[in-house]
Structure 1
Amino acid sequence: MGDRKVLTRAESQARTRENLLDAAEELFFTQGYHATSIAAIAAAAGRTIGALYSNFDNKEALCLAVIQRGLTREVGKLMPALIAAPDDAHTRMDVLTRWWARSSANNPLLALGAEYLISILRDARQRATTAQAVERLVAAGRVLLEDFLPEDITTTGPGSEAAVRAIVATGAGLAIGSAAEVITAEESAQLLGDTVELWIRRLRDTLQARD
């Protein structure tokens, strides 16, 4: 047998963190946020509760990390499709709406996000941490909007910032609506596409009014 590779401290900690995230994701998705305990997550990951708290401050922080990883995974499915798509607005919008329809069908992730947001309403510290995560989401949305904007529309200024935040907020609301089965994933995708197109037209009208 060959010599087993000895993990560095950083590699060992990273592996432990991923084990905990994997276990937490499975339990959160199947049992829900409130029904899942820290002890159950540690046991499922084959780790101690102390190891869990060495990586995450609390259950809320662990849940937020699970949600962020899930969102990153979903966005990672969109970027290659956008890169491969022809450079015309109609095709790119079609790529976006088809991706959103598939993502909106990810009910376990959406339901977890809704549970998490409700759980932190009275926790100012966790709300502040979540706000930082949302800002990173807004930054990603800004990059995506820039890809959709025609060349004659500027990507700077208060108008584009309002557009990004409005689209992200609309997407969040639509995601919760899909998770609650108030609307279908297809309806959610259509509404998101309409919102993006509305803001593109608004940005163009604002630019033309200034000229």
Structure 2
Amino acid sequence: MAARKVLTRAESQAQTREELIEAAERLFYADGYHATSLAAIAAEAGRTIGAVYSNFDSKEALCLEVLRSWATTRMSRLANTIAATDGSLEQRLDAIATWWDKQLITDNAPLILAAEYGISVLRDPAQQARAVEACERLVDSGRVLILDHLPEHAAEAGELLEDGVHGVLAAGIGLAAGSVTGLTPPGRSSSILTATIEFWLQRLGAAIGAGENAE
């Protein structure tokens, strides 16, 4: 019988942290953010409340890690889906629509949790800053997606490019909320999202073209 591996302190702490995130995810999704206490999460993970505070300074911080993990997984799947296309805009938009319909809005629990978390940190500038920082990856991913279909010097579009990136992100957030609440007709949100992406690509392309002609 093989000897059980003895974990280093860092490995043990990383394992505890992961177990707490997984326990928090289960309870947050099942019971909601506000109904879930840190004590309940500790019990679910088989850990002490002290172990929770050794890894996370608040319930908001733990919730943010749950959402960050979920978003990272979904963004990785989107990147893989896009990488499997021929690189054309048409196939990429189809890939985004498929990912949106099958990987994102089919699971309401994380979307509801994100809304609950967002509301909870509105009066906490420090936590709100953490949330904004965590969202920067989404902004960066959107920027790369748009730039891939524009001329090499498109990054010089400045404010208009940033408007496009945030416009697409805002549309996605609104459509996700609409899906959860039933305001967006079933099966329509992905086509609205891809149309929004196309709109901004066309607007940016026209602006860049006009700038080139003026030189």
Into which bin does the TM-score normalised by the smaller protein fall?
Answer: over 0.9
Partner of 2:141: 140
TM-score (norm. length: structure 2): 0.92
Residue pair 2:157, 2:208 contacting (<8 A) in 1 also? no
- What CA distance in whole angstroms lies between the structure 2 residues aligned with 1:175 and 1:85? 24
Partner of 1:11: 11
Partner of 2:41: 41
TM-score (norm. length: structure 1): 0.94
CA shift for structure 1 position 152: 6.8
Residue pair 1:29, 1:112 contacting (<8 A) in 2 also? yes
Partner of 1:111: 112
Residue pair 1:105, 1:178 contacting (<8 A) in 2 also? no
**1:152-209 Cα deviation digits (max 9, x unpaired):** 7723431222211111122112111112222145221111101100000000110111
User: CA separation of 1:75/1:196 partners in 2, compared to 1, >3 Å: closer, same or farther?
Assistant: same
Partner of 2:171: 170
Mapped pair 1:29 → 2:67: no
Aligned pairs for 1:21-170 (under 5 A) are 21-102=21-102, 103-147=104-148, 149-151=149-151, 154-158=154-158, 159-170=160-171
**Matching residue's letter, 2:43:** A
Task: Give the secondary-structure state (helix, strand or coil) at the position aligned to 2:63.
Answer: helix
CA RMSD of aligned residues (A): 1.5
User: CA separation of 1:19/1:161 partners in 2, compared to 1, >3 Å: closer, same or farther?
Assistant: same
- What CA distance in whole angstroms lies between the structure 2 residues aligned with 1:157 and 1:151? 10
Partner of 1:181: 182
CA shift for structure 1 position 57: 0.9
Aligned length: 210
**Matching residue's letter, 1:130:** A
Partner of 1:198: 199
Task: Give the secondary-structure state (helix, strand or coil) at the position aligned to 2:34.
Answer: coil
- Bigger relative contact order (CA 8 A; separation at least 6): 1
Task: Give the secondary-structure state (helix, strand or coil) at the position aligned to 1:191.
Answer: helix
- What CA distance in whole angstroms lies between the structure 1 residues aligned with 2:127 and 2:49? 21
- What CA distance in whole angstroms lies between the structure 1 residues aligned with 2:68 and 2:189? 21
CA shift for structure 1 position 3: 1.5
Structure 2, unpaired ranges of 5+: none
Name the % identity: 47
**1:7-44 Cα deviation digits (max 9, x unpaired):** 11111111111100110001100111011111110000
- Bigger CA drift: 129-138 or 34-43? 129-138
- Bigger CA drift: 130-139 or 29-38? 130-139
**1:62-86 Cα deviation digits (max 9, x unpaired):** 1111011111111111111111111
- Bigger CA drift: 71-80 or 135-144? 135-144
**1:90-149 Cα deviation digits (max 9, x unpaired):** 1111001111112112100100001111111111221111111122321222223233x1
Structure 1, unpaired ranges of 5+: none
- What CA distance in whole angstroms lies between the structure 2 residues aligned with 1:48 and 1:82? 42
CA shift for structure 1 position 2: 1.3
